Amino acid sequence: MNRFTTALSGAIVAAASFTSGAQAQEFINVLTGGTSGVYYPLGAGLANIYGEKIEGVRTQVQSTKASVENLNLLQEGRGEIAFALGDSVDAAWQGVEEAGFPAKLDQLRGIAAIYPNYIQVVASEESGITDFEGLKGRSLSVGAPASGTELNARAIFGAMGMSYDDLGKTEYLPFAESVELIKNRQLDGTLQSAGLGVASIRDLSSALPITVVAIPASVAETLGAPYIAATIPANTYDGQTEDVPTVAVSNYLVSHAGVSDDTAYAMTKLLFENLDTLEAAHQAAAQIDMKKALDGMPIPLHPGAERYYREQGLLQ
């Protein structure tokens, strides 16, 4: 299998409608996540936009295990822009070994805060799980090993006074694989950290009755920033007739110091000038707001992104 996964036939394009100063044949690899998550379709949308509108640039989309892998790849210069969860970005900058970062990732540079990830715990209705405590003794997938989702899961279990030891079985699987096991009655539930309306849970809810399990607001208070109390609105998924409380954490677009200022400027500018196109790729993009782009940024801004925000009056 090739290292890079191409999302759409138009994702590898070179055009000349945006004068960014980028060098001819410059390459932008967009690091995303699993194909059934939110990072991947948004990354494919960004790759199309950049390929069409940054002069002399070729783009590709890479499907990864998401936040932790993406940040390590950026540090090695093996991607130009990546999606990552805020707590993972902070841990990477601090060099938190148990989070998957044996040393500080000092090359990381911020592009923008984008949309929040909602921690979504979903169980099959027939499992009988109705609340978080009900996960005890049951089987749950907590995301790919050392992924941003799995780091979220560990934090939330801790805040609830629980651990994976309380589960009957812990699986470390990507979103789509988790859903397939639930459909086949080999797994009771899945914890997924993603934008609202993530394809994997939509798929599951269309296949069998589900219960969206609440996470109390007190968990956000216990964990503190970057976690906040949030709500999964009624009817986000088939059969979900009521609002469900949960917690959320911001996602960020991140680059690295080796990316040219002009390219980082163009990537930032085109992100905010093409939100309608990104929303067509996934509804989570509707929550991207330039006025919130600097909120909670845990790493230094890339100078190219900083230039854009100064032009927009967000920085003095």
73 and 181 co-located in one domain: no
43 and 108 co-located in one domain: yes
Q: In terms of DSSP bridges, do strands 26-31 and 81-85 run parallel, antiparallel, or are they unpaired?
A: parallel
The answer as to whether 181 is a domain residue is yes
Q: How many residues does the chain have?
A: 316
Q: What is the pLDDT of residues 94-132, one digit of tens each?
A: 999 989 999 999 999 999 999 999 999 999 999 999 999
Whether pLDDT at 177 is above 90: yes
The answer as to whether 286 is a domain residue is yes
Contact 141, 172 (CB under 8 A): yes
The answer as to whether 158 is a domain residue is yes
For residues 197 and 38, what is the distance between their CA atoms, to the nearest angstrom?
9
The position carrying tokens 């990830």 is 117
pTM: 0.80
Q: CA-CA distances (angstroms) from residue 98 to 66, 83, 101, 211?
A: 17, 20, 7, 32
Residue 225 confidence (pLDDT)? 80
The position carrying tokens 């923008």 is 112
Burial of 58 per CB tally in 10 Å (0-12, 13-18, 19+): middle
Which of 249, 278, 293 finishes a domain? 249
Whether pLDDT at 6 is above 60: no
243 and 142 co-located in one domain: yes
The mean predicted confidence, pLDDT, of the chain is 91
Residue numbers of the domain that contains 188: 117-249
Whether pLDDT at 8 is above 50: no
User: What's the total number of domains in the chain?
Assistant: 2
236 and 273 co-located in one domain: no
Q: What's the pLDDT band for 146 if we cut at 50, 70, 90?
A: confident
At 282, the amino acid letter reads H
Residue 135 confidence (pLDDT)? 98
109 and 73 co-located in one domain: yes
Q: Which two tokens stand for residue 234?
A: 């009624």
257 and 110 co-located in one domain: yes
239 and 122 co-located in one domain: yes
Residue 12 confidence (pLDDT)? 37
| Residue 161 Cα to chain centre, angstroms | 26
Contact 215, 191 (CB under 8 A): no
Whether pLDDT at 68 is above 60: yes
The answer as to whether 50 is a domain residue is yes
| Residue 82 Cα to chain centre, angstroms | 9
Which of 249, 277, 300 finishes a domain? 249
When pLDDT is averaged across residues 177-205 and rounded to a whole number, the result is 95
Q: What is the DSSP string of 49-80?
A: HHHHHSBTEEEEEE--S-HHHHHHHHHTTS-S
**For residue 217, which phi and psi values (nearest 5 degrees)?**
-60, -25
**For residue 201, which phi and psi values (nearest 5 degrees)?**
-75, -35
Among 16-30, 80-94, 251-265, which stretch is predicted with the lowest mean pLDDT?
Answer: 16-30
Burial of 109 per CB tally in 10 Å (0-12, 13-18, 19+): buried
Residue 297 confidence (pLDDT)? 93
Which of 249, 277, 295 finishes a domain? 249
125 and 241 co-located in one domain: yes
226 and 137 co-located in one domain: yes
Residue 53 confidence (pLDDT)? 97
Which residue has better confidence, 16 or 33? 33
Q: What's the pLDDT band for 312 if we cut at 50, 70, 90?
A: very high
The answer as to whether 233 is a domain residue is yes
Whether pLDDT at 14 is above 50: no
Residue 59 confidence (pLDDT)? 98
241 and 307 co-located in one domain: no
Q: What's the pLDDT band for 16 if we cut at 50, 70, 90?
A: very low
Whether pLDDT at 15 is above 60: no
The answer as to whether 21 is a domain residue is no
Q: Which residues of 213-242 are buried (b: 16+ CB within 10 A; e: fewer)?
A: bbbbeebbebbeebbbebebeeebbbebee
Whether pLDDT at 296 is above 90: no
137 and 240 co-located in one domain: yes
Look up the CATH number of the domain holding residue 284: 3.40.190.10
Residue 3 confidence (pLDDT)? 39
Q: What is the pLDDT of residues 213-264, one digit of tens each?
A: 999 999 999 998 889 899 999 999 999 999 999 999 999 999 999 999 999 9
The answer as to whether 183 is a domain residue is yes
Q: What's the pLDDT band for 310 if we cut at 50, 70, 90?
A: very high
For residues 14 and 24, what is the distance between their CA atoms, to the nearest angstrom?
10
135 and 42 co-located in one domain: no
The H or E element that residue 306 is part of is helix 303-311
**For residue 283, which phi and psi values (nearest 5 degrees)?**
-65, -20
Dihedral sign from CA coordinates of 67, 69, 73, 76: positive
The H or E element that residue 139 is part of is strand 139-141
Residue 19 confidence (pLDDT)? 40
